[in-house]
Amino acid sequence: MDENAERTRMPTRARTSTYETPECVNAYLDFHFGQSVVQACAATGRGPAIEGFARYENAPVDALAFPARCARYAAFGSSMREDGIPRDWEELAPKRRVLDVGCACGGAAFEFASLGCGEVVGFDFSKALIDAAKEIRDKGEIVARVKMEGDAEVDKTLVRPCDDAVFWRVKFHVGDACEMVRDAQTLGKFDVVLVANLLCRVPRPRRVLDGLEAVVKINGIVALVTPWSWLDEYTPDVNERLEKCGITLKEEMEKRGFERIGAPDEMPCFIREHYRKAQYIVSEATRWRKVR
């Protein structure tokens, strides 16, 4: 799939979306690349910390680097730490084609590349976020305006989290997650698909699931990570919401030929609003195999 070819058909929603604003792009850049730590790095002193938070003993360091952890969860499941990588991963990874739906500025996509996946496609509704993802990919770094206190902001240079040997494996495309069925022929088929903190932020979540059915190979893996925060801002039609959340999700996925792998997991998430304020979210994480 050539990202320089004609762009996947543009989303039908207004281009004046919140996700197109500089404030949103800067916040996502800080979220994806400002937390360039693995679990417990800040606590042990082996890596950089989140200013104002992770230097404290009880800081939620388990919630840092959310995009990278989601990618590892999609690839490995619960055994997502380094010592749990499957023995055959190095042999299989170069053959893996991966899709990150709702990739924002690409933190998880770059992690997939670092894990050795042969081709990674980041797919997002926001052109502004995709443009930022391409910039950090191509230049190796990007400057984000990070909020401190009140109206005060500082420039923060953020570095691409994968090295020169693998970044070229990542391509980015603008498109609507609710229209993946329409775009399936352009996107192609994938071995692994990640949908992180997106399902409850779209107007028609079942159409996202329809898209997964269309783009996932038989025996392919889907990782769904969501906090189940149904809001009128994103899913105004209450009939479109998965009423019983995880229970309804299982029913909907099984209708589309997927079976769940193991029990649901939890994926904590740390989103900094400014130097002294942050959100702590615990999303539900599930993995699914396409069996038919």
In a domain, 13, yes or no: no
In a domain, 4, yes or no: no
Cβ atoms of 105 and 136 within 8 Å: the answer is yes
Count CB neighbours of 57 within 10 A: 5
Hey, is 41 helix, strand or coil? helix
In a domain, 97, yes or no: yes
What are the pLDDT tens digits along the chain (292 aa)? 666 544 444 343 443 478 899 999 999 999 999 875 433 344 444 444 455 565 666 777 788 889 999 999 999 886 544 545 665 566 667 778 999 999 999 999 999 999 889 999 999 999 999 999 999 999 999 999 988 888 889 898 999 999 898 999 999 999 999 999 999 999 999 999 999 999 999 999 999 999 999 999 999 999 999 999 999 999 999 999 998 888 899 999 999 999 999 999 999 998 988 888 889 999 999 999 999 9
Domain of 174, in residue numbers: 18-290
Cβ atoms of 97 and 109 within 8 Å: the answer is no
How far apart CA 236 and CA 204 sit, in angstroms, is 9
In a domain, 2, yes or no: no
Token pair in block for residue 189: 């088929």
Using the structure block, give the residue that is written with the tokens 């989103």.
Answer: 271
CATH number of the domain to which 224 belongs: 3.40.50.150
In a domain, 3, yes or no: no
Cβ atoms of 200 and 226 within 8 Å: the answer is yes
Q: What is the distance of C-alpha 262 from the center of its chain?
A: 21
In a domain, 10, yes or no: no
Hey, is 45 helix, strand or coil? coil
In a domain, 121, yes or no: yes
168 Cβ contact list (under 8 Å, min separation 6): none
User: How many separate domains does the chain show?
Assistant: 1
CA distances (Å), origin 184, targets 177, 178, 227, 259: 11, 11, 26, 21
How far apart CA 222 and CA 119 sit, in angstroms, is 16
In a domain, 5, yes or no: no
Q: Cα–Cα–Cα angle for 66, 201, 286, nearest 5°?
A: 50
